[in-house]
Amino acid sequence: MALLSRVEAIRLRGVYKRYPGVVALDGISLRVFEGEYVCVIGPSGSGKSTLLKCIAGIVEPDEGDVYLWGRRVNGVPIEERGVGLIFQEILLFPHMTIRGNVAYPPVVRGTPKAEELVREVLSTLNLELRARSMPDELSLGEQQKAAIARALASGTRLLLMDEPYGSMDARVATELRHEVRGLVKDLGLTVVHVTHNQEEAMAVADRIVVMRRGRVEQVGAPLELYLEPKTLFVARFIGGENNFLECRVLNEEGGVVEVDLGCGIVRALGSARAGRAVLVVRPERLKFSVNGALRGVVRVREFLGKFYKYVVELENGRHVVVKNPSRVAVGESVSLSFNFRDALVFKYPEEGLEEAVRYE
């Protein structure tokens, strides 16, 4: 990845926003650098959209400061913040052609060389052939592209997107998100993109902000969150399904712990010395092997294309999910193993495991 600039495009300091009965933002501090593509993810109600609205100026924080390029913008109205906004509902003028829509902001502002800019944006997004079409003649993907084109033509340096691909087919969204990332990178824009879809965030973000209940749970590069989740919640929310197995720590040495699962003793990475704990191991890291530490019976098999997904009932009655390209029959006895570096042990959470990973 190219080195990012150290210029702070966005800075939030101690931002709080309360609604009657709900704390939407509970003390958020965050920096986004110029040219960075940041995704904010979290379940519904985690405060991610409110965060975006505070940056845009749609919502004023109760406390805390919002800076754009070093300038404090609390109280500055949305139209003076110079941000481009994209929502799930595609906001195009229905009575104007695509070209008209895209040309609207520069023409209204009297931007010099508006014509040229519009042509350039349309061609970069491969929309030239659609320039004379009306919005409702385009697919949803193309409409959203046109909305993005319009935001770009407005000359903004900061693009704020809230679930921009929420209304389209998965396949269309997958292609479009890649195209849009390439374009904003070419143009050097800064992006904050809110989504509930962790795969989407993993795919396009330089860094991901994981939110939960109005707070930032972890910030990091996609791979960092996938490989080194700091909390059980992040382990659950990032990278697809995960296995959480209650266990007891037997001993610890140099960051490697030995734990008793009640149906086998295994090693994993962790720092807990003793006591109740949770072993986290990803379904794709579990392998069928001859002499694995965990034995069980295959209860469910789903074909998912690149691999099969299995639910294996262990000898202690617990279920684990295994994702593996090899085909095993339902009812078959299997033994499972994993590399200790592919599993993490967390201290058992005070609020209970179910609560710690709850995402609603």
Residue of the chain from 11, 285, 287, 295 that contacts other proteins (CB under 8 A): 285
Q: What is the CA angle 222-225-227, rounded to 5?
A: 105
* Binder of other proteins out of 30, 85, 103, 238 (CB under 8 A): 238
- Does 202 bind other proteins (CB under 8 A)? Our answer is yes
How far is Cα 339 from Cα 317, in angstroms, rounded to an integer?
23
119 touches other proteins by CB under 8 A: no
Please tell me whether residue 99 binds other proteins under the rule CB under 8 A. Answer: no
Rule CB under 8 A: is residue 328 a binding residue for other proteins?
no
Contact residue for other proteins among 22, 108, 129, 223 (CB under 8 A): 223
Nearer to other proteins, 71 or 306 (CB): 306
Entry field: residues in the chain: 360
CA angle 39, 41, 45 (to 5 degrees): 140
Distance CA 40, CA 303 (A): 31
Query: Radius of gyration over alpha carbons of the chain, in Å?
Result: 24
Nearer Cβ to other proteins (56/321): 321
Side-chain-side CA neighbours of 202 within 13 Å: the count stands at 13
Report d(CA 21, CA 50) in Å as an integer. Answer: 15
Among 72, 178, 276, 299, binds other proteins (CB under 8 A): 178
Cβ distance to other proteins smaller for residue 81 or 282: 282
| Closest separation in Å from C-beta 281 to other proteins | 12
Which of 69, 307 has the CB closer to other proteins? 307
Report which of 204, 99, 105 is spatially closest to residue 152, judged by C-alpha positions. Answer: 105
Binding segment (CB under 8 A) for other proteins, from list 16-24, 106-114, 233-241, 254-262: 233-241
Residue count at the site for other proteins (CB under 8 A)?
43
Strands (E), 177-318: 190-195, 207-212, 215-220, 243-253, 256-260, 265-270, 275-281, 287-288, 294-303, 308-314
Quick one: which of 1, 26, 25, 28 has its CA closest to 13?
28
- Of residues 196, 207, 212, 267, which one binds other proteins by CB under 8 A? 196
Rule CB under 8 A: say whether 180 interacts with other proteins. no
Q: With CB under 8 A as the contact rule, which of the stretches 191-199, 245-253, 255-263, 271-279 interacts with other proteins? A: 191-199
Q: Which of 13, 309, 318, 319 binds other proteins (CB under 8 A)?
A: 309
**Assigned token pair, 230:** 């700091």
240 binds other proteins (CB under 8 A): yes
Q: Which stretch binds other proteins (CB under 8 A): 89-97, 114-122, 297-305, 345-353?
A: 297-305
**Pairing of the two strands 287-288 and 275-281:** unpaired
Dist CA 165 CA 168 (whole Å): 6
Question: Where along the sequence are the contacts to other proteins (CB under 8 A)?
Answer: 1, 43-44, 139-140, 168-171, 178, 182, 196-199, 202-204, 222-223, 226, 236-241, 282-285, 300, 302-307, 309, 323, 342, 359-360
